[in-house]
Amino acid sequence: AQSVTQLDSQVPVFEEAPVELRCNYSSSVSVYLFWYVQYPNQGLQLLLKYLSGSTLVKGINGFEAEFNKSQTSFHLRKPSVHISDTAEYFCAVNTGFQKLVFGTGTRLLVSP
Amino acid sequence: GAVVSQHPSWVICKSGTSVKIECRSLDFQATTMFWYRQFPKQSLMLMATSNEGSKATYEQGVEKDKFLINHASLTLSTLTVTSAHPEDSSFYICSARQYGYTFGSGTRLTVV
């Protein structure tokens, strides 16, 4: 079975600073990895995904993530955050079959 | 891009009544839809997976008779919370799968 760990429940950061949100996964087979963002009282929006190929994945809103198979990680990064990036971020994994397995989420708090 | 419309966005109902939530894929056919429940400041918990024309597959611990899921067409799935109680109050999110996963905007259910 797959599992996802997001160790940081909350990450405070100042505007224009860089940020990294950590995600580690566990799986005995090859996985597909996703990062989603959720704004209050809204659904989830896909930021980026890793299916295969280049381990550095670029997504929307200036975010990128790097798949590291040896460390079973898929950390999300942004070089310079904005106030509008304040939201909940979820890492998710699946093996190409049906279900997405989500991490517990990381709340990114960007302050001026 | 793929759009999933979820209605209503919020609903308040009296204890003991039933509430229906609709999830429509607007510009694609979704053979598989997922229903999630999200408690405040927590991750998404998969409730069930529905395939068009067949019975939904419920996750362990989810009451089938309380959370009725119907996936009668390739563009519509419904979740009915029967005999709702205050503990059913939550944020419910649907997701439709075609080539990826597209999420609805969620429904805030409050049972009073």
Per-residue pLDDT at B1 exceeds 90: no
Within 10 angstroms of residue A30's Cβ, the number of other Cβ atoms is 10
pLDDT tens track for B62-108: 999 999 999 888 899 999 999 999 999 999 999 998 778 899 999 99
- In residues, how long is chain B? 112
| 3-state secondary structure (DSSP) of residue A61 | helix
Rounded mean pLDDT, A38-43? 88
- Pairing of β B107-111 and β B10-13: parallel
Q: What is the largest CA-CA distance in chain A?
A: 42
Structure tokens at B7: 């209605």
Hey, are the CB atoms on A41 and B44 less than 8 Å from each other? no
Distances (CA, A) of A77 to A36, A63, A101, A102, B95: 13, 6, 21, 18, 25
Residue A41 in contact with residue A58, Cβ under 8 Å? no
Within 10 angstroms of residue A9's Cβ, the number of other Cβ atoms is 10
Hey, are the CB atoms on A34 and B101 less than 8 Å from each other? yes
Per-residue pLDDT at A97 exceeds 70: no
| Beta-carbon pairs below 8 A across chains A and B | 46
Instruction: Classify the C-alpha dihedral A28-B43-B57-B63 as positive or negative.
Output: positive
In Å, how far from its chain's centre is CA A79? 15
Residue A21 in contact with residue B76, Cβ under 8 Å? no
DSSP state of A60: G
A43, A98, A99: residue with CB nearest B103: A43
| 3-state secondary structure (DSSP) of residue A50 | strand
pLDDT tens track for B22-62: 999 998 888 889 999 998 878 889 999 998 888 899 999 99
Question: What pLDDT shows up at residue A18?
Answer: 98
